[in-house]
Amino acid sequence: MEKKKFLERDDLETTSMEPLSPMSQMLSSPNLFIVITFGFKTKCNPSAFVEGFKTTLINAPRFSSKMVINYKKNGEPVWIPVSIRVEDHVTVPDLDYPNIENPDQFLEDYTSRIANIPMDMSKPLWELHLLNIKTSNAESVLLAKIHHSVGDGMSLMSLLLACSRKTSDPSALISNTSATKKPVKSMIPAWWLIAGLWFMIRVTFTTLVEFFKLMLTTCFLRDTKNPLMGNPDDGIQSWKVIHRIISFDDVKLVKNTMNMKVNDVLLGMTQAGLSRYLTTKYGKFKVLLP
């Protein structure tokens, strides 16, 4: 069965190729990838992970295809299905865990190290790192490094949910809670027409204003100088990854109080924290972020 599976992959390599989407072409640089940290309540079993990935993750076409930018010398970027060996994408570092004095700091350093290594474009663009290291918030850790052309955060979250199963029934998909629907107010048909027309006017006006602001920014305006702006002469700077744990209950409290989405809360937290840090460290920068 395994041999047959690989033969099918070889056949796909010559018959089934998909062109890269415009967004994937924009994100085709080896330095554009996503690093995700998963914490577990138990120790990792690498063999179980590998077997699980063989039946779930590699069934997604992008996880079993490699990117070729100049296919057959005509410059056409395509996804080419290839035979894949999951073990080649899963790294289990041989570490002396008992002698690691600060596991949290070690995890940040390890994450920073893989974040500074460009993605290997000669194979499917993902890799996993399993660390059976006990941190202050987890018994073991999984680091996933996935190229941005494979998917964005939303699509990767959807894939994670599709690969997950219930602990009570390993063969059953997890159930998602349905969003609460707001009651629809009844309205006279004529008012629906007026509301729709007003909405189109607002969208058109907003689009023109934003386009005008974009042209002004491009032609005349410049970003405010701040410590985040790099010097072109410095070249590529190294990344440093810092982990912080936040309470999701607090996030939901702010979300419900402010009547907004979780993404809005997280973005606001990041923006406010970054602005406060820069204002504290560099006092002359009073307004750094819009």
Options 129, 147, 148, 243, the catalytic residue: 148
136 close to 146: Cβ distance less than 8 angstroms: no
Maximum Cα–Cα distance across the chain: 74
What is the identity of the amino acid at 258?
M
Q: Which two tokens stand for residue 96?
A: 């002396």
Q: In what order do the strands lie in the sheet with 140-147?
A: 33-40, 140-147, 126-131, 90-91
SS (H, E, C) 11-43: HHHHHCCEECCHHHHHCCCCCCEEEEEEEECCC
Helix (H, G, I), strand (E, B) or coil at 272: helix
Here the tokens at position 77 are: 């970027």
d(CA 235, CA 255): 40
Task: Give CA separation, 7 vs 65, 83, 89, 238, 287, in Å.
Answer: 15, 8, 20, 42, 60
* CB count in 10 Å sphere of residue 87: 13
Assess whether 89 carries a catalytic annotation: no
Catalytic residues: 148
